Amino acid sequence: MSPSQPSSSQSSPIAGPPADGAGAAPAALTSRAPHVPADRLVAEMVPPPRFQSARFETYIPDPDQPSQAAAVEVLSGFAAGIGGGTETGGGKRRWFGRSAKKAAAPSGPRGVYLDGGYGVGKTHLLASLWHATPAEPALKAFGTFVELTNLVGALGFQQTVQTLSGHRLLCIDEFELDDPGDTVLVSSLLSRLVEAGVALAATSNTLPGKLGEGRFAAADFLREIQGLSAHFRPLRIDGEDYRHRGLPEAPPPFDDASVSRAAHRTPGASLDDFPSLLDHLSKVHPSRYGAMCDGITAVCLTDVQAVPDQSTALRLVVLADRLYDREVPVVAAGKPFDALFSEDMLKGGYRKKYFRAISRLTALARDAKPLVEG
């Protein structure tokens, strides 16, 4: 399906091309507020570009962490046991509704839950599971927790249940519960899908029974999460962040002039003032951040500063995830990425999200270094 994409011909609010005149004026993310139709949200529930080639065979377990190799073995067996029917009577695919022969309620956990710190390869393993499951793509769904809640918002609860009940497998990446409403919503959705015989797989940085700790309304979280945890077999994956394992440190931030030059000489790059971009994110629903990056080959940011509040920080986390999924390098001037979030934020209930964002933005900054030095 062709994505709905707004015009990106508007100039960046930052000063025009440098004196050497290389390249046309870059795009500006702040000029983009795309509309994303519901059918695109469904069609895009596949592993993102970064993980399209992910397979169990390409996952490289850390030899010092036996839990990583063990996870590959368990997940390979889980994929083989899901099965792969693709049609109902008359040769038509089951896009909506339950199968004609409803699966019996499972006697044990119907899913696997990959628990581990950021950067141990959980998303790679989740995408590998999606690829290894013997069912055609139309009967498998892959998305982040945020994308799943956005789908419910676009389709409505009942239509989402009908749509996903026809699937063999639902993979949920970055399973995080940020408010009681989402907790109840996802708990109800997954319960209905388990009844329909859908296999579940999820990743997170926390065990299912611990997701609500350190967050607001912890009693409400834990009450709902305890019911969810029964659907999953927790699978611990230990290890250090592979994005920094044996690699050089991310380059320090550049100056504004260097970032502007890189933007003007990189076809398809965007150029934005960081505070203006943060303000723009507050006006675009997070479900549209991926579409906002359509066609962008590099994100160039000037005047990077510490984020001012938690709401802004959480929106930035979503943008960082979408950029990382799409392998979009980030060239930045100002504060280094490890100074984006305050000490209080890094000690609070959302700290795992913030550390993940720092890790991913650091990796993207490393990818962007040749754009400035080339």
> Where exactly are the structural domains of the chain?
29-35+247-373, 53-242
* pTM confidence score: 0.74
Nearest-CA neighbor of 241 among 361, 322, 127?
Answer: 361
Give long-range contacts, CB 8 A cutoff, 24+ apart: 76-80.
Answer: 76/132, 78/112, 78/129, 78/199, 78/201, 79/129, 79/132, 79/133, 79/134, 80/132, 80/134
Q: Is the predicted pLDDT of residue 230 greater than 60, yes or no?
A: yes
Greater pLDDT, 55 or 352: 55
Tens digits of residue pLDDT in 186-228: 888 999 999 999 999 998 866 676 666 555 445 665 566 677 7
115 DSSP 8-state letter: E
Greater pLDDT, 24 or 270: 270
Cβ contacts of 133 within 8 Å, gap of 6 or more: 79, 82, 84, 140, 168, 169, 199
Nearest-CA neighbor of 293 among 1, 2, 8?
Answer: 8
Report the pLDDT value the prediction gives residue 103, as an integer from 0 to 100: 39
Q: Is the predicted pLDDT of residue 105 greater than 50, yes or no?
A: no
Q: Which of 11-25, 119-133, 166-180, 236-250 has the highest mean pLDDT?
A: 119-133
Locate 246 and state its tokens: 């044996």
Cβ contacts of 180 within 8 Å, gap of 6 or more: 217, 220, 221, 224
Report the pLDDT value the prediction gives residue 13, as an integer from 0 to 100: 41
CATH number of 53-242, picked from 3.90.230.10, 3.40.50.720, 3.30.2270.10, 3.40.50.300:
3.40.50.300
Count the alpha carbons within 13 Å of 34 in the hemisphere toward its beta carbon: 23
Q: What is the dihedral of CA 119, 289, 302, 373, to 10 degrees?
A: 60
| Phi, psi for residue 200 in degrees, rounded to 5 | -120, 145
Q: Looking at residues 12-39, what average pLDDT do you find?
A: 71
Dist. CA 232–CA 172, nearest whole Å: 12
- Percent of the chain whose pLDDT exceeds 70: 76
- For the chain, where are the E strands, in sequence order? 111-115, 140-144, 169-173, 199-204, 232-236, 269-273, 298-304, 330-334
Q: Looking at residues 137-157, what average pLDDT do you find?
A: 90
Q: What is the mean pLDDT of the chain?
A: 81
pLDDT band for 1, please (50, 70, 90 cuts): very low
Residue type, 101: K
Hunting for tokens 């993102």 — which residue is that?
48
**How does DSSP assign 176-190, residue by residue?**
---SHHHHHHHHHHH
Q: Is the predicted pLDDT of residue 250 greater than 50, yes or no?
A: yes
Lowest mean pLDDT among 64-68, 205-209, 301-305: 205-209
Tens digits of residue pLDDT in 27-53: 999 999 998 887 888 888 999 888 999
